[in-house]
Structure 1
Amino acid sequence: MKKTLTLLALVAGTTALAATPAPNTLTKGVLKIGMEGTYPPFTYKDEKGNLTGFDVDIARAVAAKLKLKPEFVLTEWSGILAGLQANKYDVIVNQVAITEERQKTIAFSTPYVYSTPQIIVKKGSTFNPKSLADLKGKRVGSSLGSNYEQQLKAAGGINIVTYPGAAEVLADLVTGRIDAGYNDKLLVSYLIKSQNLPIKGAGLGKADSMGIALKKNNPGLKAAIDKALLQLKADGTYARISRQWFGTDVSKP
């Protein structure tokens, strides 16, 4: 796991941080942001149809530091990385785990979230897996192309059922079409607390660090985003957003 750098190691005082202008590669003063819109509490629509969530708030705060207007482009997780390569948006702010495989083709900001994947089972089930080894021979749901799918494949012997996104995994878990799901612990905790879904968390996987994803040919944008994230942490904006959604600072491993 990558370790976060302390603010003191990166800057000699928060007063020296100024607003970061956007690189010239962005046009019309807009930052196009790819996300699912169906992945609570990170990115989803509330009862009034308004896009909201932790990643939405972080994306808006980053855009503000860059002096850009945020423009959200919603897409299924299964096609979200391809959409970045096709220039449908400038960045993805959607809990994209930083992996060696992904870094071969896309760039990432410094990590802005640390979390742990968790096995999910239906509430009341007698099946209580403690680790991925306990999922062998079981039907386990995961989002297509996700880091969670790759971890399940690496474990071996698991009947992996892939879906466009987390919502479909949860739906089939509740109806009993799959034995378990595998997703972000922060998502699981939020759903259990806020939506009264008949699910429960079980064993944990390997911890992940999440970054804002962008194309490799835009180093100026990466540098500007990294500085914006540093500013948000230094001025307390990040901690306020994180505590609003999770009750704790999720920028720390």
Structure 2
Amino acid sequence: MNVKPAAWVLAALLAGTSLAARAADLLDDVKARGSLRVGMEGTYPPFNYRDEKGELAGFDVDIAKAIAAKLGVKAEFTTTEWSGILAGLQSGKYDVIVNQVAATDKRRETFDFSAPYVISYPQLIVRANETRKLDTPADLKGKKIGVGQGSNYADLAKGIAGVEVRTYPGAPEYLQDLATGRIDAAINDSLLIPYLREKTKLPVKAGATIGKPEGNAIPFRKGNPKFKQAIDKALEDLKADGSYAKISTRWFERDVSKPPAAAR
């Protein structure tokens, strides 16, 4: 007579344990740890890079620190090449990536994303002395185009008929090849171009825009609804209290949470 009730008790305990496990959320881990683990390249100015003191700086660094502060924790950074950054997130090396990640449908199959925090568009980068017409997909036929391995720009380039796509670990490598003439053009974020023109000595310039404005967001592992809500609220609060605009204006002289004028 006592066996069945005992079995019920055991089943209830096991069910409770299972429910508790399912209820665990990344936000709880972050709060308990006291830090938000952030993955980024660290070689992608003005978004994230090492300054003259060897410290991480840039728009994404400032945004990540501000989000962490809203969560009541500190930002803890890990740098890695773009080619392996998403795999690192999937394996749990960090909680989020703050590195201008486009929230594509394909990536949403593996990760959840915050609301977009940057709106920009893909743009060609060409040599400063380029005189050829490279404005349309037809103009690019037969040309060598450099892109970051595993990036949405790589997918974009592969969709252009007749283009030879060359992939690189990150922007520094293909921009160097562009400057020395090993490739004809590169594709990257439109927000990168002014920085290259003003802050570096690379002989490159902005080319034609390609594609439509896109939203870059913060990816994290699926199944963490409380964490997503907290990240989205942090971004909303940063915009509401003026912190986002202050950070954005520092790096880009405008609010990059809104579509650029050229793309409206």
**So what's the TM-score if we normalise by structure 2?**
0.86
Deviations 1:201-227 (A, max 9, x none): 111012211001111122211110000
Find the partner of 1:222 among 205, 209, 228: 228
2:177 to 169, 172, 175: 172
Residue deviations 1:117-148 (CA, integer Å, cap 9, x gap) = 11111111222311333212111100000010
Q: Does 1:56 align with 2:61?
A: yes
> Quick check: which has more Rg, 1 or 2?
2
Contact 1:45 1:51 in 2 (8 A): yes
Partner SS, residue 78 of structure 1: helix
How far, CA to CA, are the matches of 1:232 and 1:124 in structure 2?
41
For residue 27 of structure 2, what is the aligned residue in structure 1?
Answer: 23
User: 1:129-208 counterparts in 2 under 5 A?
Assistant: 129-206=134-211, 207-208=213-214
Q: Secondary structure of 2:37's match?
A: strand
Q: Which residue of 1 aligns with 2:215?
A: 209
Looking at structure 2, the residues matched to 133 and 114 of structure 1 have their Cα atoms a distance apart, in angstroms, of 26
Cα pair 1:121 1:127 within 8 Å, conserved: no
Residue 23 of structure 1 aligns with an amino acid whose one-letter code is: L
Q: Cα RMSD (Å) of the superposition?
A: 1.1
Give CA deviations for 1:96-136 in whole Å, capped at 9, x if unaligned.
Answer: 01111111111110000001111111111222311333212
Whose relative contact order is higher, 1 or 2, with alpha carbons under 8 Å and at least 6 apart?
1
53-62 vs 206-215, which deviates more? 206-215
Contact 1:121 1:128 (8 Å CA) reproduced:
no
Q: What corresponds to 2:116 in structure 1?
A: 111
Query: Runs of 4+ in structure 1 displaced over 6 angstroms?
Result: none
1:229 is aligned with what amino acid?
Answer: L
CA distance in structure 1 between the aligned counterparts of 2:48 and 2:251, rounded to whole angstroms: 11
Structure 2 residue matching 1:243: 3-state secondary structure: helix
| Structure 1: distance between partners of 2:80 and 2:223 | 22
- CA-to-partner distance for each residue in 1:5-43, whole Å, 9 max, x for gaps? xxxxxxxxxxxxxxxxx8213241111000000000000
Equivalent residues in 2 for 1:2-81 (5 A)?
Answer: 23-26=27-30, 27-81=32-86
- Three-state SS of the structure 1 residue aligned to 2:165 is strand
Aligned length: 232
For structure 2, which runs of at least 5 residues remain unmatched after alignment? 1-25, 260-264
Question: In structure 1, how many angstroms separate the alpha carbons of the residues matched to 2:226 and 2:160?
Answer: 38
Q: Identity percentage over the alignment? A: 56
SS of equivalent to 2:194: helix
**1:126 alignment partner in structure 2:** 131
Provide the rounded CA distance (Å) in 2 between the counterparts of 1:191 and 1:197.
Answer: 7
Residues 49/122 of structure 1: CA separation in 2 closer, same or farther (3 Å cut):
same
Q: Aligned pair 1:91/2:96, yes or no?
A: yes
Aligned twin of 2:14: none
